[in-house]
Amino acid sequence: MKLGCVLLCCLVAVLAHAGATDVAAGIEQLQAQIEAERQALAEYRNKVDETRQASHKSLQDLRRELRRIATAHQDTRSAVNQRRQDLRTARAELQQWKTQRQKIVEILNYQLSELGKLYPLLQGVSGPDAALLLPEQFAAAAPLQSGGETLHEAYASYLKAATVAVRTKLQTYNQDGEPREAESVRVGLLGGIAVDDGLTGVLQLSPSGGLPTVVSRLPLAYRKVLDGAMQADPVPVVLDVSGGMALEGLQRRKTFRGYFKAGGIVMYPLAAIALLALLMVIERGIVYCRLSRGHARTCGAIADELKSGTAEAVVSVKQAPAPMARLWTRGVEALQRGGEDVEEAMQEAIIGELPGLEKHLSSLAVFAAIAPLLGLLGTVGGMIKTFEVITQHGTGNARLLADGISEALVTTQVGLAIAIPLLLLHAVLSRQAKKIVVNMEQLALTVLSARVGKV
Please tell me the predicted confidence (pLDDT) of residue 279.
93
| Reported pTM | 0.49
What is the reported pLDDT for 424?
Answer: 94
Please indicate, yes or no, whether residues 48 and 186 belong to a single structural domain of this protein: no
Rounded to an integer, what distance in angstroms lies between the CA atom of residue 282 and that of residue 247?
A: 41
Domain co-membership, 60 together with 180: no
- In a shared domain, residues 284 and 232: no
SS3 content of the chain, % helix, strand, coil (to 5): 75, 5, 15
Alpha-carbon distance 190 to 168, whole Å?
A: 15
Q: Do 188 and 306 sit in the same domain of this protein? A: no
Q: 450 with 362, same domain? A: yes
Report yes or no on 123 lying in a domain: no
Q: Is 218 exposed, middle or buried (0-12, 13-18, 19+ CB in 10 A)?
A: buried
Q: State pLDDT tens for residues 105-119.
A: 888 777 667 665 554
Answer yes or no: do 319 and 204 share one domain: no
Position 294 in a domain: yes
How many Å from the N-terminal Cα to the C-terminal Cα in the chain?
Answer: 194
What pLDDT score does 149 carry?
47
pLDDT tens per residue, range 33-55: 888 888 888 888 888 888 888 88
In a domain, 136, yes or no: no
Neighbours of 39 (CB within 10 A): 10
Please answer whether residues 423 and 358 qualify as being in contact, where contact means their C-beta atoms are separated by less than 8 angstroms: no
Helix, strand or coil for residue 228?
coil
Pairing of strands 199-204, 179-187: unpaired
240 with 277, same domain: the answer is no
pLDDT for the residue 126: 46
What gap in Å lies between CA 277 and CA 367, rounded to an integer? 7
d(CA 267, CA 220) in angstroms, rounded, equals 24
Q: Tell me which residues of the chain have a pLDDT lower than 70.
A: 1-23, 111-112, 114-168, 170-171, 174-177, 182-193, 195-211, 214-254, 294-343, 395-400, 403, 444, 446-455
326 and 364, same domain (yes or no)? yes
SS3 232: coil
120 in any annotated domain? no
Task: Look at residue 24 and tell me if it is in a domain.
Answer: yes
In a domain, 140, yes or no: no
Residue 410 lies in a domain: yes
Give the closest residue to 361 by CA, choosing from 272, 432, 291, 295. Answer: 432
DSSP string, 324-381: HHHHHHHHHHHHHHT-S-HHHHHHHHHHHHHHHHTTTHHHHHHHHHHHHHHHHHHHHH
What pLDDT sits at residue 432?
87
- Domain check: are 366 and 317 in the same one? yes
Total number of domains in the chain = 3
Q: Which domain holds residue 45?
A: 20-105
pLDDT at 131: 39
